[in-house]
Amino acid sequence: MEITTKVMQQATWQQILEDVKAGETVKYARTEAEITLKDGTTAVLAVAAVNHYKDKELVFVFKNYLSDKKPMNKDGGNAGGWKKSDLRKWLNKEFVKLLPDDLQEVIQKKKTVQVIDGERYKCKDYLFLPSEMEMFGECEYSEDQEGEKQFPYYADKHNRSRTIGKNGCWEFGWLSSPSASNTTDFCRVGSGGNDNGRDARDSGGVAPAFVIR
């Protein structure tokens, strides 16, 4: 599959991986690529961060939400945080299979650690959601997590406002951070790009991220 970025470069996912391993990551900053999922829908991927968690890596995010809204947890509640959420399981067991095969081959698992009420929850995922800190650069509703920082892509508030699919309506979207003030909510991005919380049973937008390293 050929990828066209904003700077009109073309590369396969394997070529991008080779560039990343060679340390040639900066040239992909602020670029985008369009892919076709196996269900026939298209999606735009944006490079949200370069060398963010480790050296020699790219962090991609879906520019818009997926075509179907999802609850974070069907039965509600935020116990166990991202690790125990239904949405995490769906992304990594079902949705990931819709990604093009050549893209699946280059994605690496990303480690998430959340400390919630003094208890550590650790998991590794091919697909994940940004945290409140990675989206907004601060934590208003969730607990601060060690080492987290904002994705440069989301420093621009316009990039936080997203639609369902490329041409759908503006919608709120889920983040991986559970609320620190109650047992029902997860953090979300409002339709205007603002920070907020929402009951985990509600259906919202899903814009996953992944890492190539």
pLDDT at 160: 95
Beta carbons within 10 angstroms of residue 38's beta carbon: 10
pLDDT, tens only, 161-190 = 898 877 778 889 999 999 999 999 999 999
Q: What is the pTM of this model?
A: 0.93
∠ CA 155-159-165, rounded to 5° = 155
pLDDT, tens only, 74-129 = 999 999 999 999 999 999 999 999 999 999 999 999 999 999 989 999 999 999 99
AA identity, residue 91: L
**Residue 181, beta-bridge partner list:** none
Strand, coil or helix: 96: helix
- Give the residue carrying structure tokens 């009109």: 8
pLDDT at 163: 84
- Give the residue carrying structure tokens 């949405």: 87
Confidence of residue 6 (pLDDT cuts 50, 70, 90): low
Question: Environment class of residue 200 by beta-carbon count within 10 Å: exposed (0-12), middle (13-18) or buried (19+)?
Answer: buried
DSSP3 helix / strand / coil % (the chain, rounded to 5): 20, 35, 45
Picking from 193, 155, 167, 181, the residue whose alpha carbon sits closest to that of residue 64 is 167
- 12, two tokens: 């396969």
pLDDT, tens only, 80-90 = 999 999 999 99
pLDDT at 203: 96
Report how far apart the first and last C-alpha atoms of the chain are (Å, whole number). 19
Helices (H), 73-151: 86-93, 101-104, 132-136
Q: Are 146 and 192 in contact (CB under 8 A)?
A: no
H-helix or E-strand spanning residue 163: strand 162-163
Dihedral sign, CA of 135, 57, 72, 115?
negative
